[in-house]
């Protein structure tokens, strides 16, 4: 388990509804879809992520003795219902988009088919898990598209929203194409490549900046990337020129420098000149500090000589779009399609499939949302991944997911790849689905 497993990590209303379902014997099969109601204005596509943690959650879902005790004594639930919860397991089926799949508004990313109480209870945590990783993978994908061929590293742990966010942001960014993360525990848990050398405090704790550089290099001879902006960036670069021969004599090469403040474009250019003139042509320049896809594109468009970037806060909190309107809605119960009609929040009923149409060379042309019983041309995207509460497939490796994401991003039409101009992919609603919705609307409730 890489995540918090508690069954009580849910909204209270799930339990009050379950008590009603239990009292009424409403245990028939429900079908819920998890989908994005609409995309944020700054997102032309989303990248599916978080399925592994969602399945892990469903497989391990049960109430502990301590939790059952608390439920029994909290004054809201009777003992028969709590006994029912003691036996609670998820025994349903899951269809899902494979992680790393591009998707759009109204397209189910996950479909749960299970007895109503089971399908209901899991709503809050399923959204919580899928929402966050999809949010970060989608943001990271935009950074990757903005900086082709550059090394991008997740630096965001400190301002990610808590521990789980830090860990799962590292995972989501890596599967979207980042080269790695600074978060050690994410390296240990997920096998993601780790990056990191020093902060300003190491420089400050030494009386002389050059001593800090030299001591650090001696201790980490294979990973000499030096932070040069603590006092005066260009002066520090010149100190490296003086230091390099002494290190070389000990068999140590300066691998690179990091710049974390000021006008990165200007400093990188000056530092590049100093390093090149001083015989440190092979030393790379790594930039960090308030970076995101907008800033990356700007820096690279102006030809800034930076080889890699640490992307932190703005990635891990997805600051330009910190939430997605992911929702989880009942589409069928007891064999009958269902439709919520709330203003601005109406849903497409029934068991659905997403069909993706592409050109001969794989570029996306259009998607169709249709009832499963009415296939459309194109590739069906939702795959069966769990039946009777057990996974149907072995866990995918993170690298396999990463390769899928790469292929998917390569197939995006140019308008959707643009990070500044809003564009939307056509998602057509099949006629039979429209008819079903109209028919349900005419019913009295």
Q: Give the nearer residue to a second copy in terms of CB position, either 178 or 195.
A: 195
DSSP annotation of 385 reads: E
Q: Give the nearer residue to a second copy in terms of CB position, either 208 or 434.
A: 208
Q: Give the nearer residue to a second copy in terms of CB position, either 135 or 386.
A: 135
Instruction: Outline where 278-337 has alpha helix (H).
Output: 293-301, 313-316
CB of 127 to a second copy, least distance (A): 4
Nearest residue to 341 (alpha-carbon basis) of 430, 438, 427, 433: 438
Rg (CA), the chain: 26
CB of 208 to a second copy, least distance (A): 6
CB burial of 369-392 (b: ≥16 within 10 Å; e: otherwise) equals bbbeeeebebeebbeebbeebeee
CB of 240 to a second copy, least distance (A): 14
Tokens describing residue 11: 């909204």
| Residue 65 CB neighbours (<10 A) | 8
Q: Give the nearer residue to a second copy in terms of CB position, either 73 or 302.
A: 73
Q: Give the nearer residue to a second copy in terms of CB position, either 39 or 166.
A: 166
Q: Give the nearer residue to a second copy in terms of CB position, either 124 or 357.
A: 124
Q: Give the nearer residue to a second copy in terms of CB position, either 201 or 248.
A: 201
The answer to whether the beta carbons of residues 3 and 129 sit under 8 Å apart is: yes
Q: Give the nearer residue to a second copy in terms of CB position, either 79 or 261.
A: 261
Residue 265, φ and ψ in degrees, nearest 5: -60, -45
CB of 27 to a second copy, least distance (A): 11
- Number of residues written out for the chain: 445
CB of 207 to a second copy, least distance (A): 7
CB of 363 to a second copy, least distance (A): 32
CA separation for the pair 48, 134 (Å, rounded):
5
| Residue 262 CB neighbours (<10 A) | 11
CB of 421 to a second copy, least distance (A): 23
Burial of 237 (0-12, 13-18, 19+ CB in 10 A): buried
CB of 345 to a second copy, least distance (A): 5
CB of 380 to a second copy, least distance (A): 26
DSSP annotation of 10 reads: S
Nearest residue to 146 (alpha-carbon basis) of 314, 259, 283: 314
Tokens describing residue 250: 């000990």
Query: 3-state DSSP call for residue 255?
Result: coil
């Amino acid at each position: 388990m890489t995540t918090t497993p508690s069954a009580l990590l849910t909204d209270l209303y799930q339990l009050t509804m379950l008590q009603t379902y239990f009292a009424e014997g409403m245990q028939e099969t429900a079908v819920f879809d998890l989908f994005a109601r609409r995309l944020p204005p700054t997102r032309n596509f989303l990248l599916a992520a978080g399925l592994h943690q969602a399945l892990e959650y469903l497989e391990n879902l049960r109430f502990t003795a301590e939790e059952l005790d608390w439920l029994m004594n909290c004054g809201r639930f009777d003992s028969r219902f709590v006994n029912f919860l003691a036996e609670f397991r998820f025994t349903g089926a899951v269809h899902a988009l494979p992680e790393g799949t591009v998707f759009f508004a109204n397209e189910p990313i996950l479909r749960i088919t299970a007895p109503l109480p089971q399908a209901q209870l899991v709503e809050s945590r399923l959204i919580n898990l899928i929402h966050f990783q999809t949010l970060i993978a989608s943001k990271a994908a935009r950074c990757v598209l903005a900086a082709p061929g550059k090394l991008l590293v997740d630096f965001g742990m400190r301002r990610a929203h808590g521990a789980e966010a830090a860990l799962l942001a590292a995972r989501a960014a890596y599967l979207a194409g980042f080269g790695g993360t600074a978060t050690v525990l994410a390296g240990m848990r997920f096998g993601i490549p780790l990056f990191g050398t020093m902060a300003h405090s190491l420089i400050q704790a030494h009386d002389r900046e050059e001593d800090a550089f030299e001591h650090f290099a001696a201790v980490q001879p294979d990973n000499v990337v030096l932070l040069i902006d603590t006092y005066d960036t260009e002066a520090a670069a010149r100190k490296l020129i003086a230091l390099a021969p002494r290190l070389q004599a000990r068999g140590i090469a300066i691998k690179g420098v990091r710049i974390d403040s000021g006008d990165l474009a200007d400093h990188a250019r000056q530092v590049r000149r100093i390093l090149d003139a001083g015989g440190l042509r092979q030393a790379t320049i790594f930039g960090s500090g308030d970076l995101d896809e907008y800033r990356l594109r700007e820096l690279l468009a102006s030809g800034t000589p930076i080889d890699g970037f640490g992307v932190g806060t703005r990635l891990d909190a997805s600051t330009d779009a910190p939430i997605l309107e992911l929702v989880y809605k009942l589409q069928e119960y007891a064999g009958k399609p269902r439709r919520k009609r709330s203003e601005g929040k109406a849903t497409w009923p029934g068991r659905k499939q997403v069909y993706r149409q592409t050109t001969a060379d794989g570029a996306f042309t259009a998607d169709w949302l249709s009832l499963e019983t009415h296939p459309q041309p194109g590739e069906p995207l939702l795959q069966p991944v769990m039946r009777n509460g057990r996974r149907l497939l072995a866990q995918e490796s993170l690298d396999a997911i990463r390769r899928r994401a790469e292929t998917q991003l390569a197939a995006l039409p140019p308008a959707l790849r643009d990070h500044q101009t809003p564009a939307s992919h056509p998602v057509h609603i099949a006629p039979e689905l429209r008819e079903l919705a109209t028919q349900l609307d005419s019913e009295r409730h």
